[in-house]
Amino acid sequence: MNNWQPSQARSLTSQQTIAVLPSKVLVILAWLLVLGTGLGCTRQHVASPLGSRSYAQRLHHLEQADSLRNFSSGLRLSAAEEQANRRLVALRQQALAHYDSIHFFPPARNFYRGRHQLYASRLYHLLQTMPKGGVHHLHPGAGGSPWWMVQRAVREPNCYVFWQPDRGPYLKGELHFFRAGEVPPGFVAAQELQRTVPGFGAQLHALLTFDERMSHDSVDVWREFEKRFQRVGGFTGYQPVFEDMAVATFDSLVADGVQHVELRTGLSGSLYDLHHPAGSFPADSIIRYYQRAGQRVQARQPAFTFKLIYADLRFKTTEQIQRSLRTAFRLHRRYPSVVAAFDLVAHEDAGHPTRYFQEVWRVRDSLTAATGVQLPLCLHDGESTWQHVHNVYDAAVLGSNRIGHGFNLAFFPAAEDLVRKQNICIEVSPLSNQLLDYVGDLRLHPAHTWIRRGVQISISPDDPAIFDYVGVTPDYWSVFLAWELDLRDLKQLALNGINYSYLDAAEKQRALAAWQLDWQRFVARLNQST
Ligand SMILES: [Zn+2]
C-alpha cells in the first residue's frame, strides 16, 4: 500500500482501460477501487492540514500561545537590545553548529568532560561580562574558589592537614588549625607538606573538589559531597580566616558579573580559633564579620549587596530546629537588613521531610502573631528525583518566597500551579543538579520546561568550590546553550536575581538602577563585537 497513489486510481477508472485488462487484474482493480473510494471518502471528511491556510495558522497560534507563556514574555527589548539579541543568537547558533560538527554537546555531558570546551569558547568570556543581578543559592563554605583555600592554607603557620589514608574520624586532606603541641597524630603542617610533597597543592585541591572520576550513583555522590564539606570544615570555621574567605567569595562572584549574593549559613556559632573552641563566637560576631566583608567589597564595588539566609540541617530534631528558628527570628529582628529568611538544608532524600517540622512552622506563626514581624521561609525543597519526596507541596503551602532547587516539582502539578500563582521563584543550580546526579543532559533539566510554562527562576552555583569552578558563568553558559535562550531570557534571569531577592524596596530600586547601567554597557559591548 505504500506505493498507492491517488493519481493511479483516477487513471484506472476509465472504461477503456478496464476493457483491455485480464480478469484477475480486474478483480484486484475492483478491490483497489473500493479501497480507493473509501480513502477518498475519508479525505473528504478529514481535510489534510498540509498546504492549507489553516495548517499554517494553527501552527502559528500554537507557537504564539507557547511564546506568551514563556517566563520572559513580559519583557520588551529596546532597539539596541534587539540588535544585540540577533548577534547573541547568531553566536549561539554558531556554537551549536560547532558542537554538532564534533558530535559533542558539552551541556549534555558531564561538566568535567566538557569544561575545556566551555572555557575555550568566546561565548563563555562574553557571558562572564554579563551583569547577572543576584545569586540566590550559595553555601559559604563552598562558595568561592577552591584554589584560594589551598593557597591560603599553605600560608597559614598553624594550618594542618590530615595526610594519611582516612582513619578514625579523619579523612585524608582534612584541614584544621592547631596550637603546636596539640596536633593529633596524622596531621602535618600544610607548610611542611608544601615543602616536602611534590604537587601537594594539586593533591589537596583534588581532595577538596569533585572531578570526572566521581561515582554516578547519587547516594555515593552525596557521601563524597559530604566528605568534602568535612575536609574544609576546620578551615572555613577558623575565625582568623573567616572574614577574608567571605571577601574572597564575594570578590569571585563580583568578578563574574554578580551584584547581589544571598548566602545560606548556619549562624549557630561554630567558629573557633587557637584559644577558643567552636561555639565561642556568637551569631552577632559572625554577622559582624560578614558585614565587614561586605563593606570591604563595597569599597571597590559600591553596588555590591548581600543577605544571609539562616540555614540549619534537616537531619536535626524538631526541638533543635525550633531553637534555631527562635535564634533566626531574634537575629532577623536585630539585623533586619542582614538576616533575611530561614531554611533547612542537607541531603533531602535522607533527611526529615519538611512536614516533620510542623511544630516549628506553628512556632513561626505564633512568633509572627506575637511580634508582628515575619521571618520569611526560603525552603531548600524538591532536590530529589523521587516522587515520595514531596516537600515542594510544603514549600508552596508554607508560602516559601523562593524554593531552593525544586527539582522534582513537575511530579506535583498542583504544587507547580501554586508556585506559578503565588509567583514563587525557583532557585535553579543546573551544574549542581548534574554533578550530584539528578540529571545528565541539561536540555532535560526540569527548569527548561518551567521557564516555557511561565515559572520564574534564578540561576545559582550552589557549591562551586566543591564542583571546582568559580562564579556562576559556567551555569549560565550551560543553560544558554542547552535551553536555547536569548537575550530576553538572560535579562529576565538577571532581573529575577534582584526582584526575587530579599533586598527591601529601596535597596531593590538602587540595585536595579546600578544593574541597568551595567546592562546597557553589556548590550553596547555586544553590539560592538564582531
Ligand atoms: Zn544548596
pLDDT at 56 exceeding the cut of 60: yes
In the chain, the amino acid numbered 478 is S
Q: What is the spatial distance between Cα 304 and Cα 440, in angstroms, rounded to a whole number?
A: 34
What's the CA-to-centroid distance between 467 and ligand 1, angstroms?
A: 12
On whether residue 39 sits in a domain, the answer given is no
The tens digit of pLDDT for each residue in 197-240 reads: 999 999 999 999 998 877 566 568 888 999 999 999 999 999 99
On whether residue 18 sits in a domain, the answer given is no
What's the CA-to-centroid distance between 28 and ligand 1, angstroms?
A: 71
What's the CA-to-centroid distance between 227 and ligand 1, angstroms?
A: 16
pLDDT at 142 exceeding the cut of 60: yes
Q: For residues 380-390, give the mean pLDDT.
A: 95
What's the CA-to-centroid distance between 450 and ligand 1, angstroms?
A: 19
In the chain, the amino acid numbered 272 is Y
Could you give phi then psi for residue 345, rounded to 5 degrees?
A: -120, 180
In the chain, the amino acid numbered 236 is T
Predicted confidence band of residue 8 (pLDDT cuts 50, 70, 90): very low
Cell numbers representing residue 315 in the block: 537531619
Give me the torsion for CA of 391, 396, 402, 403, rounded to 10°. 20
What's the CA-to-centroid distance between 337 and ligand 1, angstroms?
A: 22
Q: In what order do the strands lie in the sheet with 159-162?
A: 175-177, 159-162, 187-189
The tens digit of pLDDT for each residue in 75-124 reads: 999 999 999 999 999 999 999 999 999 999 999 999 999 999 999 999 99
* Residue position matching grid coordinates 615543602: 195
Of 141-150, 206-215, 406-415, the one with minimum mean pLDDT is: 206-215
* Nearest one of 250, 223, 304 to 140, comparing CA atoms: 250
On whether residue 264 sits in a domain, the answer given is yes
Predicted confidence band of residue 332 (pLDDT cuts 50, 70, 90): very high
Would you call 279 exposed, middle or buried from its count of C-beta atoms within 10 A (0-12, 13-18, 19+)?
exposed
Strand partners, 159: 177
Q: What is the percent of the chain where pLDDT is above 70?
A: 89
- Do 143 and 149 form a contact (C-beta atoms < 8 A)? no
Q: What is the spatial distance between Cα 29 and Cα 32, in angstroms, rounded to a whole number?
A: 5
What's the CA-to-centroid distance between 310 and ligand 1, angstroms?
A: 13
pLDDT at 49: 63
What's the CA-to-centroid distance between 266 and ligand 1, angstroms?
A: 13
On whether residue 366 sits in a domain, the answer given is yes
On whether residue 515 sits in a domain, the answer given is yes
pLDDT at 45: 56
What's the CA-to-centroid distance between 25 and ligand 1, angstroms?
A: 75
Q: Alpha helix (H) ranges present in 310-452?
A: 318-334, 358-371, 391-397, 413-421, 430-435, 446-452
pLDDT at 264 exceeding the cut of 90: yes
What's the CA-to-centroid distance between 304 and ligand 1, angstroms?
A: 22
518: domain CATH number is 3.20.20.140
Buried b (16+ CB within 10 A) or exposed e, 144-154: bbbbbbbebbb
What's the CA-to-centroid distance between 394 and ligand 1, angstroms?
A: 18
Of 28-32, 66-70, 185-189, 304-308, the one with minimum mean pLDDT is: 28-32
On whether residue 246 sits in a domain, the answer given is no
What's the CA-to-centroid distance between 23 and ligand 1, angstroms?
A: 79
pLDDT at 215: 58
More confident of the two residues 31 and 284: 284
Q: What is the full DSSP assignment across 453-472?
A: TT--EEE--BSHHHHT--SS
User: What is the number of domains present in the chain?
Assistant: 1
* Residue position matching grid coordinates 583555600: 149
What's the CA-to-centroid distance between 139 and ligand 1, angstroms?
A: 6
What's the CA-to-centroid distance between 526 and ligand 1, angstroms?
A: 33
- Do 18 and 29 form a contact (C-beta atoms < 8 A)? yes
pLDDT at 30 exceeding the cut of 60: no
Q: What is the spatial distance between Cα 132 and Cα 493, in angstroms, rounded to a whole number?
A: 7
**Which 3 state secondary structure label does DSSP give 156?**
coil
On whether residue 43 sits in a domain, the answer given is no
Range of the domain at 347: 111-143+256-525
pLDDT at 28 exceeding the cut of 70: no
* Nearest one of 270, 275, 274 to 285, comparing CA atoms: 270
On whether residue 340 sits in a domain, the answer given is yes
